[in-house]
Chain A
Amino acid sequence: DQQVKQNSPSLSVQEGRISILNCDYTNSMFDYFLWYKKYPAEGPTFLISISSIKDKNEDGRFTVFLNKSAKHLSLHIVPSQPGDSAVYFCAASGPPDRHLFNKFYFGSGTKLNVKP
C-alpha cells in the first residue's frame, strides 16, 4: 500500500517559469515531510522539509506548501533553471514509535525537465 503518491511521473517546464511538483499522502499521522532531488547515477540529496505544524517553508527558489486537510504537499521552484532537471521525490516521516524513531515513506518520483 503506497502511503505517499506522486501521480505525475514527469513534468516539463520552460526555463524561468514556475515548476510545481505535487505529492499526496494517505496517513494523517505523518508529521514531517521532505523533498529529495536525484540526478542520474547519484544518490538522492535532501532539498527542503516541512513540519506538520507549518503550512509553508521557503529556501531560496524552493518553497514547500503543506495542506494537511487535503493530505497534499507541493514543491514550487521559482524561477526554474535547467540545472533543476532531475527526479524529485517526496517523503513522509512518522508516526514515531515509542523511541520516537520513524519509518520513511517515499513517493515514486517526478522527473522534472527544465527546457532552456
Chain B
Amino acid sequence: DSGVTQTPKHLITATGQRVTLRCSPRSGDLSVYWYQQSLDQGLQFLIQYYNGEERAKGNILERFSAQQFPDLHSELNLSSLELGDSALYFCASSVGGTVWDNEQFFGPGTRLTVL
C-alpha cells in the first residue's frame, strides 16, 4: 500500500459526459501528479501540482483540468468525453517535486471506460 488513494476504482460513462477523479496523496506529500495509461501505452504525464499550485504540464488535453485543494487532495476533471479517453488514470505523490525528493508513490489507479 503506497498510501495514495484514488476514487473511484472503476468508472463507466458515455461519450460527451463529464467525470471527476479524486486523489489523496500520502501524508506529508505536497506534490500530486496525474498520469494517463492507455492500452499498450506508457504512462503519459498529464499535470503536476505542488502545494495547491500548478507546477508542470504535460500532454493534458484542453478538455481536462485539475486542481489541488488546501487539504492537498487533488481532482482531475475530464469533460466532453470521447471513446479514446478510456484509460487507466494514475495519481502519484511525492514529498516535493524537486530533483532531490522526486520519488513518486502511485495510487492504484482509476479505470475509466467511455462507451
Q: Which residues of chain A in 78-116 are interfacial with respect to chain B, using CB atoms and an 8 Å cutoff?
A: 89, 91, 93-94, 96-97, 99-109
B56 touches A103 (CB 8 A): yes
Given contacts A43-B108, A104-B33, are A93 and B99 in contact (CB under 8 A)? yes
Contact with A along B36-57 (1 / 0, CB 8 A): 0000111111001010000110
A6 adjacent to chain B (CB < 8 Å): yes
Check if A101 sits within 8 Å of B58, measured CB to CB.
no
Cβ of B104 under 8 Å from chain A: yes
Q: Is A59 located at the chain interface by the 8 A CB criterion?
A: no
Residue from A45, A105, A107 in contact with B106 in the complex, judged by beta carbons closer than 8 Å:
A45
Complex interface: chain A residues within 8 A of B2 (CB): 43, 45
Q: Known: A32-B102, A43-B4, A43-B90. Contact between A102 and B43, CB under 8 A?
A: no
Q: Which of A26-83 contact B (CB under 8 A)?
A: 31-32, 34, 36, 41-46, 49
A-side interface mostly: loop
Chain A interfacial positions (CB closer than 8 Å to B):
4, 6, 9, 31-32, 34, 36, 41-46, 49, 89, 91, 93-94, 96-97, 99-109
Whether A89 pairs with B43 at a CB distance below 8 angstroms is: yes
Contact between B4 and A103 (Cβ–Cβ < 8 Å)? no
- A96 near B42: Cβ-Cβ < 8 Å: no
Which residues of chain B (10-53) have a CB below 8 Å from chain A? 33, 35, 40-45, 48, 50
- B51: shortest Cβ distance to chain A, in Å? 11
Q: Tell me, yes or no, whether B81 is within 8 Å of chain A by CB.
A: no
Chain B min CB distance to A27 (Å): 14
Assuming A42-B108, A45-B2, what are 13 further A-B pairs, CB within 8 angstroms?
A36-B106, A42-B109, A43-B90, A44-B106, A46-B105, A49-B103, A93-B99, A100-B99, A101-B55, A102-B99, A102-B102, A104-B33, A108-B42
